[in-house]
Amino acid sequence: MGAVYFYHLTRRPLEETLPLLLEKALGAGWRVAVRGSDAARMDWLDARLWLGPEDGFLPHGRSGGEHDALQPVLLTTGTDLPNGARCVMAVDGAEVTPGEVLTLERVCILFDGNDAEAVQAARAQWKALTGAGCAAQYWTEASGKWEKKAEA
């Protein structure tokens, strides 16, 4: 049974935080699907991930290609997992179901703490997922380092 981790971004933007979490997931041996809600935003994120650190490489691709099944990290707006992802990272308010949380190793929901709508959407997701019996953790970087602030 998996768990859902909520990441409240207040100090670093998505394009800086996501690669760190992706590296940890890949280090755990998981394939990852990064699920967004807007195709243009996913294209933007794809371009940002290719800019990565000079000393590193984050293997990833956009969904819809002939090699989706081979991608360690697949950026998508869909709910299917053609790369066999064991971890879904939801960004920009992308939906996650309780069934996904229960069948995957990990679900991460990253949201912009400086966007009131994003915070409200994350609160609604927390209520829905924990209300359905999903294990959940809430992490914030408000102090300058990541700290777990709540667990259900």
Q: Which domain holds residue 132?
A: 3-151
pLDDT in tens, 60-70: 999 998 999 99
Residue 148 backbone dihedrals phi, psi, to 5 degrees: -80, 125
| Averaged pLDDT, 46-58 | 77
pLDDT in tens, 88-130: 999 999 999 999 999 999 999 999 999 999 999 999 999 999 9
For the full predicted model, state whether its pTM sits above 0.85. Answer: yes
Four-residue CA torsion sign, 146, 148, 150, 152? positive
Task: Specify the number of domains making up the chain.
Answer: 1
**CA quadruple 5, 7, 13, 14: dihedral, nearest 10:** 20
Four-residue CA torsion sign, 7, 8, 10, 14? positive
Q: Which of 118, 80, 113 is nearest to 97 (CA)?
A: 80
